[in-house]
Structures are given as C-alpha cells and as structure tokens.
Amino acid sequence: MITIVDYRMGNIGSLVNMFQHIGEEVIVTNEPADILRADKLLLPGVGAYGIAMQRINGLPGLRDALDEVVLNREIPILGICLGMQLFTDFSEEGNQEGLGWIPGSVVRLALQPELRVPHMGWNEVKITNRTPMTESISKHSRFYFAHSYHVVVADANTRMLSTVYGEEFNSGINHKNIFGVQFHPEKSLKSGMEILRSFSEM
C-alpha cells in the first residue's frame, strides 16, 4: 500500500494509474492520521518550490506527521520531481526553506547558449551510488524529465543517479529510507514502471 501525499501539486492521476497497473494499492491523502498509518509514502510535485512548501506547511498537522514517519520511524518515501527537490534545505526559486531531510539546495539549471530550459524530454541516467532502487535500472533505461531546477547535495554519499544536460546533475538522491528521482517514473513507460515496482517491493 502506497500513501500518496496530496498537497494539490503534482500528477497524482498518472501515479495512481501506474500503481494500479502494477497491482499496488494506493491511497491519496493529506490527513495526518493517514500519514501516521502509512507503510510507504510518495511525495509528488510539479510547480514552484515556494508554493509547495507553503501548502505543505499550511495543511494542519501534515508537516509534523511527515517528519515523524520519515525521520523517526524511517518508513520508505519516494519523492518525484519537485517532490525530490523539497527534501533539501532551501531553493534559489522563491528563497524558501524545504523539508531539510537531505542536506542540499536547489539551483536553476545553468543556462548555456545552445540549451533550452526547461530540460524536457527523455534522457539517460548513470548510477552514482547503488541502492535497492537502482537494481531495476539498465543501460537501456530512459526517463522523462521536465524541470528547470536541479538538486545539489552536501554529502556525495547521498547521490544516487546522475544525468547530463549541459552539466551533470543529480537525477536521483538517497539517504537511508528517503529516495528521490528528478524524472517522472509515472510517465517513463517500462523504465518508470520498474522504478515504481521496485519501490513498492521495498
């Protein structure tokens, strides 16, 4: 059972569809009681860092419940796209404080003359540090990205996947029970399905 955190930002419909397809039950909620009962969490996200943190902090009891289950009980959590970025301390975008679960910050993708921002489309990943989630990734895996900002981490051990778009950036991070991917597994066909499946089997 996967508990998807609903703070009204993110492609929850597609996530629910993909989990249904792989036969995994999901609930979509922002009730602290549901969060506290969760076995596994999923934090989606599309949009602006600042607005996202405001929403999460604004929903009564949600922030505390998340901190409790993620930091104390250490249940597995997967952050997707903006969801992964929220794990950090702060972002250039909007100068907001994040959840602070993985030391690091969010910066804009470097603008180079020939690059178009946002980074949008299919790209490959390289495994920087192996984790249970990277087992499902092969050299044929490709994932769909759609973002203008990326995560820089303080501790190199928390890097999990990297991708090249102009510069090399972290496309996946991990610290203990906390996993994040910059791409959208729910929109990455088979490769993405394998990521969500490996998360559901943890």
Partner 1 sequence: MRLDVFGATMRVNKTETCRGVVAVSRGVQVMTCTRCIYDEKVSEISFDNEGVCNYCRQVDSLVSSYGTGTARGELKFRKLVEKIKLVQQNADYDCIVGVSGGTDSSFLLLLAKEVGLRPLAVHYDNTWNSAVATQNIAIVTKKLGIDLVTYVIDNKEQDQTKLAILKAGVPEFDADTDIAFISVLRKVAAYHRVKYILEGHSFVTEGISPIGGNYFDNAYVMDICRRFGDFKPKSFPSLGFWTFLKWSVIYRQQIIRPLWYLEYDKTSARKRLQEELGWRYYGGHHLENRASAFAHTVWLPQRFGVDLRNLSLAADVRSGKRTREEAIREYGTPVHVEKNLVRYVKKRLDLTDDEYLLLMNGPRRTWRQFKTYKRRFELLRPLFYVLARFGMVPMSFYLKYCFPLRKHS
Partner 2 sequence: MLQNRVIPVLLLTNGSLVKTKQFKSPTYIGDPVNTALIFNELEADELVLLDISPTVHQCGPDFKTLQSVASECFMPLAYGGGISSCEQGEKILNLGFEKIVINSSAIEEPNLISNLAHALGSQAVVVGVDFRRMRDNSRAVFSRNGRRRAELDLVSWCRRAEMYGAGELLLTSIDSEGTWSGYDLPAIKEVASAVGIPVIANGGAGSLADIESLFFHTGALGAGVGSMFVFQGRGKGVLVNMPSKEQLRDITKTKYGSRL
| Cα separation values, 38 from 14, 60, 74, 107, Å | 20, 17, 11, 31
Backbone angles phi, psi at 91, to 5 degrees: -130, 145
What sign does the CA torsion over 170, 177, 68, 154 have?
negative
Instruction: Provide, rounded to whole angstroms, the least separation between the CB of residue 186 and partner 2.
Output: 7
Instruction: Provide, rounded to whole angstroms, the least separation between the CB of residue 94 and partner 2.
Output: 13
- 84, 182 Cβ separation under 8 angstroms: yes
> 28-67: which residues touch partner 2 (CB under 8 A)?
46-48
Residue environment code for 28-57, b if the CB has 16+ CB neighbours within 10 A, otherwise e:
bbbbbeebeebebbbbbbbebbebbbebbe
Choosing from 108, 116, 126, 130, the residue that interacts with partner 2 (CB under 8 A) is 116
> 16-75: which residues touch partner 1 (CB under 8 A)?
20-21, 23
- 134, 161 Cβ separation under 8 angstroms: yes
- Cβ count near 92 (within 10 Å): 12
Q: Name the residue nearer to partner 1 (CB basis): 23 or 113.
A: 23
Token reading at 66: 């998340």
Q: Name the residue nearer to partner 1 (CB basis): 18 or 65.
A: 18
Q: Name the residue nearer to partner 1 (CB basis): 20 or 148.
A: 20
Q: Is residue 113 involved in binding partner 1 (CB under 8 A)?
A: no
> Is 81 considered catalytic here?
yes
Number of residues that bind partner 1 (CB under 8 A): 3
Choosing from 36, 71, 117, 127, the residue that interacts with partner 2 (CB under 8 A) is 117
57 contacts which partner out of partner 2, partner 1, none, CB within 5 to 8 A by kind? Answer: none
List of residues contacting partner 2 (CB under 8 A): 11-14, 17-18, 20-21, 46-48, 113-124, 142, 144-148, 164-166, 184, 186-190, 192-193
